Amino acid sequence: MRIHTCLLSATLAAGLAWATAATAAEPDPSDWQSVTEAARGQTVYFNAWGGSENINAYLEWAGAQMVEQYGVTVVHVKLDDTANAVAKVLAEKTAGKDEGGSVDLIWINGENFASMKRQGLLLSPDWTTKLPNWQYIDYENKPTILTDFTIATDGLESPWGGAKLVFFYDTARTDSDGLPDSAEDLLAWAEENPGRFSYPQPPDFIGSSFLKQVLIEVIDDKSKLLKPVDEATFEADTAPLFAYLDKLNPLLWRGGKAFPQNYPDMKQKLADGELDIIFAFNPSEASSGIAAGELPDTVRSFTFSGGTLGNTHFVAIPYNASAKAGALVLANFLISPEAQARKQDPAIWGDPTVLSMDKLDAADRARFEALDLGIATLRPDELGPALDEPHPSWMEHIEGEWLRRYGAAN
């Protein structure tokens, strides 16, 4: 840099350079044109679960659209555990790397969001509600968009899709008249059908979700789940859960000595006839599996009439992201009617939308109305109530206790 002989000129130049750098590093979503201009040419490293071929294919499509429409390159950093990306950002903060971070966008919710918010690892202040496509979000009727596992989102993460726990079975092998309607019913069903049910080993997200479903159903005081774990009463509070699991464990596939790796592994075991009941956190998963040729067309869905776990999943931007403008543009694209309708198509992914149909124009509503949700997808009025996620601290404690009790066998 040229050395100025005038101290005042040097000071002004340095101040201008600092301001320019700050502006580039902290794009203002209220000025969307400047955001899209700054984003052009950037590469966004999107850290997202990579365990599903149809989701990976959807992200490839989204990446192609980002290049074509905005000149932004998207690299899908495939994760098997979101906590790994969180740990990466925390390590960078600990090392003082407050700029030029390696993670630009994270697919996140629940305990990982709570951890990043608590440790100051997220871009702030509120940027989500300033995205142009926020106008379509159905936050009025979907409270989990504003509260993630009891933690206020505060505009620190952008909703991307809905989720609800739904069970699947193959009508060619399993009688619909005997399907369980609660966790207790499921235990009784497993006693009559040993080895025909299982769940992924925590901390796999789907496996942990099953533990939460059971906990919500069996805990004596459900109001405790809305607050952080009380260490003094944790053992007593979770005694019904582990009493249930102690009974269920020997009735599982392979006698509870091994567990499916994840949902795709459970899906394959249903298709192969190794399991008779599986579950996912997406009401359209069975139809998606049928459309992709991964499940027979005799598979159908069911849920519990008393309710199953439901939540919203999000994307978030780390505070030290290298491509903040590009990440904002990608987050905005992911909640566009175009991207949301494609994502809800069971032939593509089947992930429920976070948009309100009443807020869309006729052409965009038509995108959703044209979707064939599939023969195995339950209608919204058949899904039953959505049970609120517990405070994230419950899952952290329960996963640790589960591994202590049952993990050593694997």
The DSSP string of 327-380 is: HHHHHHHHTSHHHHHHHH-TTTT-PPP-B-GGGS-HHHHHHHHT----TTPPPG
The amino acid that residue 363 corresponds to is: A
Give per-residue pLDDT as tens, 171-180: 999 999 999 9
pLDDT for residue 4 is more than 60: no
**Residues 6+ positions from 303 with CB-CB distance below 8 Å:** 164, 165, 166, 167, 378, 382, 383, 384
By C-alpha distance, which of 245, 272, 271, 262 is closest to 406?
245
What is the residue whose two structure tokens read 């809800």? 344
Say what the pLDDT of residue 350 is.
Answer: 87
**Of 285, 212, 258, nearest in space to 52 by CA:** 285
pLDDT of residue 325: 98
User: What phi, psi does 110 have (nearest 5°)?
Assistant: 65, -130
Q: What percent of the chain has pLDDT over 90?
A: 81
The answer, yes or no, to whether residue 1 has pLDDT greater than 60, is no
pLDDT at 342 over 70: yes
Give the residue range(s) of CATH 3.40.190.10 domains in the chain.
27-162+311-375, 166-310+384-409
Do 103 and 321 meet the contact criterion of CB atoms below 8 Å apart? yes
| Residue 19 confidence (pLDDT) above 70 | no
Q: Rounded CA gap, 218 and 44, in Å?
A: 43
CA 364 vs CA 94, 209, 324, 333: distances in Å: 45, 33, 28, 14
Assigned superfamily of 27-162+311-375 = Periplasmic binding protein-like II (3.40.190.10)
**Which pTM was predicted?**
0.78
> Quick one: pLDDT band at residue 26, thresholds 50, 70, 90?
confident
The better pLDDT of the pair 25, 109 is held by 109
Q: What is the DSSP letter of 310?
A: E
Confidence of residue 408 (pLDDT cuts 50, 70, 90): low
**What does the pLDDT look like over 110-146, one tens digit per residue?**
889 999 999 999 999 899 999 999 999 999 988 889 9
Residues 179-234: tens digit of each pLDDT:
999 999 999 999 999 999 999 999 998 999 999 999 999 999 999 999 999 999 99
Q: What is the 8-class DSSP label of residue 224?
A: G
Is 27's pLDDT higher than 90? Answer: yes
Range 22-51 average pLDDT: 89
Q: What is the mean pLDDT of residues 389-400?
A: 93
Q: For domain 166-310+384-409, which CATH number applies: 3.30.70.260, 3.40.50.1100, 3.40.50.300, 3.40.190.10? A: 3.40.190.10
